[in-house]
A and B are shown apart, each in its own frame.
Chain A
Amino acid sequence: MTEVLLHVENLHVSVADTPIIQGISLEIKRGEIHAIMGRNGSGKSTLANVIMGHPAYEVTSGTIHYKGQNIDDMEVFERARAGMFLSFQYPASIPGVQVGTFLRKSVASVREEAPSPREFRQELNEAMKQLDMDRSFLSRYVNDGFSGGEKKRLEILQMLLLQPDLALLDETDSGLDIDALRIVADGINAVAKETGCLIITHYQRLLDLVKPNVVHVLIDGKIVESGGPELAIKLEKEGYDWADALV
């Protein structure tokens, strides 16, 4: 039986006492790609952030299990070390910290056994080549002065290096031109077999390149419809109005 990585049960989440997520249930197995689609403010990013453990989000009821374990008490860094990864919609910049140093330190902290400098260099070279990234990236400061597309590429580079079991991709497709989108999609597809993916997106265009097993439609903090890839196509054509009726 395929391993269940993420099991979310009747989850309710508030930010500053305002309810955002109001009863979500979801199960992702290894090798599955789930897409969550919805309008701005429907609670998509909140879901990704709360799974990763963002301190501003409060779970008011319901549970999140990761690899069979309730993760309510796990710190953010512990979740990362347990194999969870969040590709940020708006990654923070860390001035003065070089990308190369940051990647090396992150890999060392997340993996049980840190690769030797030589192994690390080799992995890094391959991953950067795969994402068509120039080596000059490594000496720049993390996300500092990066364009939207550069930031997203760096997120995917981190995903390739950190080799997560569960990847949460929060609007990774926004701000990318079509070539960059294809490269990022290739990156996701490269890890998808061994990973559980939760892709959060507005648009269907990424889902043309990364085939989801399940698409969920999120409205006002609730999943109102789940289905196959055809659901994404329907949303693209018809918008969300039809789904409002399902609330």
Chain B
Amino acid sequence: MTQDAQDAVGDYKYGFHDPEDATIRFDKGLSEQVVRDISELKGEPEWMTDIRVKAYHHFMEREMPTWGNCDSLAGINFDNVTYFLRSSDKTEKDWDDVPDDIKRTFDRLGIPEAEQKWLGGVTAQYESEAVYHSIREDLEEQGVLFLDMDSGLKEHPEIIKKYFGTVVPHTDNKFSALNTAVWSGGSFIYVPKGVHVEMPVQAYFRINAKNMGQFERTLIIADEGSSIHYVEGCTAPTYSTDSLHSAVVELIAMEGAKIRYSTIQNWSANVYNLVTKRGVAHKNATVEWVDGNIGSKLTMKYPAVLLKGEGAHAEVISVAYAGEGQHQDAGAKVHHLAPNTTSNILSKSISKNGGRSSYRGMLQVTPKASGCRSKVVCDALMLDEDSRSDTYPTMEIGNSTADLEHEASVSKVSGDQLFYLMSRGHTEEEAMGMIVNGFFEPFTRELPMEYAVELNRLLELEMEGSIG
């Protein structure tokens, strides 16, 4: 790597990239033909092509969103995005069969190792499609379906037709329309009644090419009384030009089911990360979003839960770290649509070196949702004077029996804390790293141990070389 490139990459250790050896690459830009070509290439049923085309037209007509840091979206040039790129002709079940370049990338990211040790299944997506996929045999025997979305559509079209777009319709917002038009890859999971998937399953998303658009689509259905923990990680090379990641994730937790969806988003600082994530919780079901945002140029992401059945529960725990040139516009949306539903939202954000982090939240209680409880806690930590943190909570409360709590705090690292830690032999950077890790601890403890360790290490890296 040249020195200039090294400077640009900085401490971001996933900033390397492979040669772009695409087997199929579409020209930049979007048209109805591009959308049809993607669908045809994948050999999709006609109804899916129709949904895509409809969504494409909606995308073209739809205004930019008005919820979030919308001014920054003007920087996206939709004509300069590659909408589809195939880098391997098929999805392999054995790491040895994955093309060498790509395999090396995932080796460097530690994916095969993690799979062997503690995962119930893995899918690895490179550019537009999955290049590797596996699931433990015992899960398969219990009837658990875990496939990449393209294979899911081929093998279980009836399930996908029934649920696709029911939680996040293409008309939801401009980016959900875009995703619906050009989606490729992502995960499809179905957990049968009463089955508890004890080990987490993981998806890993990697963008390699320049000006790439990645539009994965994930659908997870947990049938009655079942449970699953899904984990996703994302990285990309550092380029001077922008890439776009715009996913849609739909979760459906049937009666008494539980879905936990954990994310460690660590895109490089040239990626626009505009994701629509939403889950439906039926009677006594639980949907949990554990959402960590460390990377990207701009993230706009507000994991949402529709509490549709009585006694349903939502949990949204998120952290955001905004360094130089980054804006993390994150938060949560919870809609209490049924009686006796409960929700907890905990948001923690750190801003440093002029970075900006915002909490944007929506809490809705409809008139028929009596006896609801909700607690929202937002804590922001500022590491210097140049950084910025904002909180934008919105509440629409239509039922007077709702029991609501909202706490917000903004704090700075105090000189007393630094002096105390330094007097115990820690450098200023180490001290800062400890304080930051401590601040994120309520989030980190919710992660599988391997992720928690990795996240702490990442944050310590972010603190290095940053103190003048």
Binding site for B on A (CB under 8 A): 52-56, 75-77, 79-81, 85-86, 88, 90-97, 102, 105-106, 109-110, 141, 158, 162
* Cβ–Cβ < 8 Å partners of B441 in chain A: 95-97
Contact, CB under 8 Å: B434 / A97? yes
* Interchain CB contact (< 8 A) of B424 among A53, A93, A106: A106
* Interchain CB contact (< 8 A) of B420 among A92, A110, A162: A92
B241 within 8 A of A: no
Contact, CB under 8 Å: A141 / B426? no
Q: A105-B434, A109-B430, A141-B438 are in contact. Are A94 and B417 (CB under 8 A)?
A: yes
The secondary-structure label for the interface of chain A is mixed
Bound together, the chains give a CA A210 to CA B118 distance in angstroms of 54
The secondary-structure label for the interface of chain B is helix
* Cβ–Cβ < 8 Å partners of B422 in chain A: 75-77, 80
* Interchain CB contact (< 8 A) of A110 among B425, B434, B439: B425
Contact, CB under 8 Å: B425 / A97? no
Contact, CB under 8 Å: B423 / A52? yes
B142 within 8 A of A: no
Interface size class of B (residues with CB under 8 A): 20 to 34
* CB-based closest 9 A-B pairs: A96-B438, A96-B441, A109-B425, A110-B425, A97-B438, A76-B422, A106-B424, A80-B425, A92-B420
Query: What are 29 of the A-B contact pairs (CB < 8 Å)?
Result: A56-B415, A76-B419, A76-B423, A77-B422, A77-B423, A77-B426, A77-B428, A77-B430, A80-B422, A80-B423, A85-B423, A86-B423, A88-B420, A88-B423, A92-B420, A93-B417, A94-B421, A94-B438, A95-B438, A96-B438, A97-B435, A97-B438, A105-B426, A106-B424, A109-B425, A109-B426, A110-B424, A110-B425, A141-B438
Number of A-B contacts (CB under 8 A): 74
* Cβ–Cβ < 8 Å partners of A52 in chain B: 423
Which of B425, B428, B434 gathers most chain A CB within 10 Å? B425
B416 within 8 A of A: yes
Task: Please name 19 further chain A to chain B contacts, defined as beta carbons within 8 Å, in addition to the given A94-B417, A109-B424, A141-B438, sorted by A numbering.
Answer: A53-B423, A55-B419, A76-B422, A77-B430, A80-B422, A85-B423, A91-B420, A92-B419, A92-B420, A93-B417, A94-B421, A94-B434, A96-B441, A97-B437, A97-B441, A105-B426, A106-B424, A109-B426, A158-B424
Contact, CB under 8 Å: B437 / A81? no
Q: Taking CB as reference atom, which chain A residue is nearest B411?
A: A95
* Cβ–Cβ < 8 Å partners of B421 in chain A: 92, 94
Question: A66 → chain B, closest Cβ, in Å?
Answer: 14
Q: Taking CB as reference atom, which chain A residue is nearest B421?
A: A94
Contact, CB under 8 Å: A106 / B425? yes
* Cβ–Cβ < 8 Å partners of A94 in chain B: 417, 420-421, 434-435, 438
* Cβ–Cβ < 8 Å partners of B434 in chain A: 94, 97, 102, 105
Question: B404 → chain A, closest Cβ, in Å?
Answer: 25
B392-419 contacts to A (CB < 8 Å):
414-417, 419
Question: A208 → chain B, closest Cβ, in Å?
Answer: 28
* Cβ–Cβ < 8 Å partners of A96 in chain B: 437-442
Question: B386 → chain A, closest Cβ, in Å?
Answer: 20
B427 within 8 A of A: yes
